[in-house]
Structure 1
Amino acid sequence: MASSPFRRLCHWGPLSVLGIIKLITWAMVHLLGMWWPPHSSIAAALHAALFLSLAASTLYYFLQSLLEGPGFVPLGWKPEKQEDTDNLQFCTVCNGYKAPRSHHCRKCGYCVKKMDHHCPWINCCVGHNNHGYFTLFLTSAVLGCFHASVVLSICMYHAINRVWYIHSGTGREPLVYLTLTTLLLTLLAIGMAVGVVLAVGVLLYLQVRGILRNQTTIEDWIVEKAVGRREEQGLPDFVFPYNVGWRNNIRLVLYGNKYDGIRWPVRDGCGEYDLTREQQAQKQDKRVRSRLYTAIAEYSGYWVPLRRYPWAALAAPCTDEPRLPLRPGDVIRATRQRRHWLFGEKLIGEGESRGPRGWFPRDAATPTDHLYKTKPD
C-alpha cells in the first residue's frame, strides 16, 4: 500500500538521487574555489550563485514531488450520478470506481489521480498533485547537470595540465589540484552529470510534450491504440478530450491545486467520459481476442524458473510486471504473449471473476478456449 512520506524517502531511488545531488554539488563547490573563486569578482560570484540556485531548486522540487505524492482516488469512490458508473471501470483492489484519468498502481496500492507513471527515483507515482513539481525537478536537474558537466570538464582539463602551466604558462592560468580520491570522485561526478543530461533530458522532453497536450504517458498509449482500433473498425477519429489549448494545459499542471483531480475541463464537443469509454472499448476488444488457458503444471512465480522451465528462464520478459503463480487446474485468460511466456489473469469462481495478473511460462498451461465462453466486463 501507499507508504508515508518518510518511508517513501527511505528507498534506494530517493537515496540515490540525494547522493548524486550531493556528489555533483560537492565537486562543483570544491573545484570552483580553485578554477574561478567566487570572491575574485562579481562575475565569479554570480556564476557560483547560479549553480547553487539550480542545485537548491533541484533538491527542493525533488523533495516536493516526493513528499506531496501524486494524489489518490478515495477508497470506494463512485460518481455522484449512478448512471455514470456505466462509463467507468471498477477497481477491485480499491473497491471503488476509477475516476476519469486515474489508474491503479500496484506499487503504490491505490488508484492514482491523473497517473503519468510510477517513478522509482521518487518512490511514488507522478500524478495530479506532484506533476508540476516533478517537471520543475527535471528542468532544474538537467540545467544544473549541464552546467556542472561543462565546468567540471574544464576544471579537469586544468588539473591534468597543472604541471605544464607551472613551467610553461603565463602565470595567470588557474591551478586546480586533485588528489587521487578527488580525481576519482570528480570523474564520477562528470559521468553522473552527463548521464543526467542525456537520460533525464529525454524524460524532460517527453514530460513537456505531454504537458503541452495535457496528455499523460499512459494516455499517449491509450490514444495510440485508439487510432489503430478505430481505423481498423472504420470508426471516426478519436478526439482527446482534455487538450484545451497549450496555455490552459500548462496552467492545469502548474496550478493543479485548483482542481480536485476527479473532474477535468474538456474541449468543446467532448464529454468527460469520452476517454473512459474508449478504454472500455479497448479492453473489450482485448478480451475478445484473448485466449483461455488451463494450467497443467505448477509454476511457483519465480522470475527465472531455470530448473523447471529452462527455455522460459533464458527468455524472461524484461519488465517489472508481476509473475503469476499457477497450480494445475487454474484457468487463465491470456491477453499478451511472447515466445516462451504468456501474460494473463486468473479466472476465479463460477462467475469467472478477475483474479491476479502476471506473466507465466507458456509450457505451464494449455489452450482451452473450447471449454469456456469469453464474457464481457
Structure 2
Amino acid sequence: MKFLSGFVTFENLHEVRRLCHWGPIIALSVIAICSTMAILDSIIWYWPLDTTGGSINFLMLINWTVLILYNYFNAMFVGPGYIPIGWKPENQVDMQYLQYCRVCQGYKAPRSHHCRKCVMKMDHHCPWINNCCGHMNHAYFTSFLLLAPLGCSHAAIIFIMTMYTQLYERISFGWSTVKIDMSAVRQFQPLMPFSVPAFAATLFALGLALGTTIAVGMLFFIQVGSFPRFAFGISSLHKLFCDAKFKQIFNWRIQTLKHNNLICVGLDQQVQYQVVEDYNGACCPLSKGIQTFFRTPCTEEPRIPLNKGDIILATRGTKWWMYGDKVLSEEEMKAGDRVRGWFPRRCVEKCHYDTAANDSTSNKKVN
C-alpha cells in the first residue's frame, strides 16, 4: 500500500470502491487490451533489442501506459475537493451572493455544486472515473484526455504495421479472389508467431484504439475550448473573473482551500424561471422539438415534470436543456422534499423581476 500511495493519492481506503463501477471497468479494460496488444505486436513487428528505433518505440509504449494510468487513477482517487459541512463565509455580507445547501447545511462557494457533497469548482460527474471532476482533479482529468488519444494513436500505428508486415508475404491475389495463407513460411520469422487468433485480437484492439482516439480526443478539445471563457460543464452559467485561469486548472500542487479562500468573487448562483409550458418528465420528449429530443443530456440525473406556473431556480444548462430546483411550498420544504433535475429550456421563461434584482445587485457591485 505504501508503494501504491506514492503513485496515487488516496483520501481513504473506501475510495478503492470506486473501481467497482461499469465506467472504470470499461475504461481500464480498454487501456489493458490496447497496452497489452501494442506491447506484444511491437515485439513481433519491431523487436526492441535489435535497433535503437525499436527500443525507443518500446519505451514510448511503456511511457504512454504509465502516464495514462497515473493521471486516470489520480483523477479518480484525488477527488474534486469538497466544501466543508456546515461552511459559511466569514464575512456575512457574502451570504447574499451564495446558494444555501440544505443537504450539507452550509453555504456553497461560487461555482460549487452538490453531488453527494458540495464539490468545489465542479465541472461534471464523470462515470468513466466514477467521480466528480472539479478543483483538485481537473488537471489530472484534462491530462488524461490528452494522453489517452496520443497513446492510442501510437498503438493504432503499431497494430496497422504489424498486420501489414505479417500479411504481406501471405496474401495472394487472383482474378476474382484474395487468399490469405497464415501457415505460409515467411522470410524473416518473428520471435512470436502471428496466427489467426493473434490477427483477430490485433484487429479488435485496433478498433478500440481508433474509437478511443476519436471519442476521448473530442472530449479533450471540448475541454480546451472551454478554457478561455472558463465555462465548463456545470459551471457554464457562471463567470469567474481571474487572469490566471490555466494556473487554477493545472494546480499540480494539490492543496486544500482554506475557509476564507472559498469566496473569490460575489455572484448570484441561481436564476429564477417561470414555467410556461407543461412537461411530463420524459427523457427524450419529441413534442418539445427535434433539437430537444436529440440534444437530451447524457447523464444519469433525473428529469422533473413541470406544470404551468411553477417556479424554477436554475443553476446550469445547455442550449436546449436546463437544470435546477423546483420551488416548493413551506409544507413540502418542512417535510424535506426536494425536486431537482433537467427540463427543456423552451418550457420556461426568465422572471422579469428576477432580472431587475440581478441588475440592481450588479449596480451595487460596480458602485
TM-score (norm 1): 0.69
The answer on 1:318 being equivalent to 2:296 is: yes
Counterpart-to-counterpart distance in 2, 1:159 and 1:335: 62
Residue equivalent to 2:175: none
Cα distance in 1 for residues equivalent to 2:222 and 2:185? 47
Question: Is 1:204 aligned to residue 215 of structure 2?
Answer: no
CA distance in 2 between partners of 1:204 and 1:89 (Å) = 30
- Give the structure 1 partner of residue 275 of structure 2: 291
Match of 1:230 in 2: none
Q: Which residue of 2 aligns with 1:117?
A: 124
1:143 CA displacement: 1.4
State the distance in 1 between where 2:219 and 2:68 align: 15
For structure 1, the 5+ residue unaligned runs are 227-239, 266-270, 362-366, 368-372
State whether residues 36 and 174 of structure 1, in contact with CA within 8 Å, keep that contact through their aligned partners in structure 2. Answer: no
Cα drift, residue 55 of structure 1: 0.7
Instruction: Tell me, yes or no, if the aligned pair for 1:39 and 1:45 is still in contact at 8 Å.
Output: yes
Distance 1:113 1:358, change over 3 A: closer
Any residues of structure 2 matched to 1:148-167 within 5 Å, and which?
Answer: 148-164=155-171
2:40 corresponds to:
30
Q: Report 1:52-201 matches (<5 A).
A: 52-105=62-115, 109-164=116-171, 171=187, 177-201=193-217
Q: Tell me how many residue pairs correspond in the alignment.
A: 322
Give the Cα–Cα distance (whole angstroms) in 1 for the partners of residues 195 and 153 of structure 2: 24
Deviation at 1:79, TM superposition (A): 0.6
Q: Deviations over 1:98-131 (max 9, x none)?
A: 11221223xxx11111111111110111111111
Corresponding residue number in structure 2 for 1:272: 264
Give structure 2 stretches of 5+ with no counterpart: 1-11, 173-180, 359-367
Match status 1:221 vs 2:236: yes
1:93 offset after TM fit, Å?
Answer: 2.1
What code does the residue aligned with 1:291 have?
Answer: V
**Structure-1 separation of matches of 2:68 and 2:252:** 19
Partner residue, 2:242? 242
Q: Counterpart of 1:53 in 2: which secondary structure?
A: helix
Residues 324 and 341, structure 2, Cα contact 8 Å, conserved in 1: yes
Partner of 2:329: 349
Q: How many angstroms apart in 2 are the aligned matches of 1:220 and 1:325?
A: 23
Q: Secondary structure at the match of 1:125?
A: strand
In 2: Cα distance, 1:220 partner to 1:111 partner: 13
Contact 2:121 2:235 survives alignment (8 Å): no
Match of 2:29 in 1: 19
Q: Which deviations, in whole Å up to 9, do the C-alpha atoms of 1:276-331 show, x marking residues without a partner?
A: 52x44xx34x42xx127899xxx8x7869xxxx9979x9698333303479xx998
- Separation in structure 1 between the aligned mates of residue 33 and residue 70 of structure 2, nearest angstrom: 16
Quick one: distance in 1 between partners of 2:194 and 2:123? 43
Alpha-carbon deviation of 1:205?
A: 2.4
Structure 1 residue 67: Cα displacement: 1.0
Contact persistence 1:332–1:347 (CA under 8 A): yes
CA-based RMSD: 4.5
Counterpart Cα distance in 1 of 2:255 and 2:324 = 39
TM-superposed CA distance for 1:3, in Å, is 10
Tell me: CA distance 1:132–1:317, structure 2 relative to 1, closer, same or farther (3 Å): closer
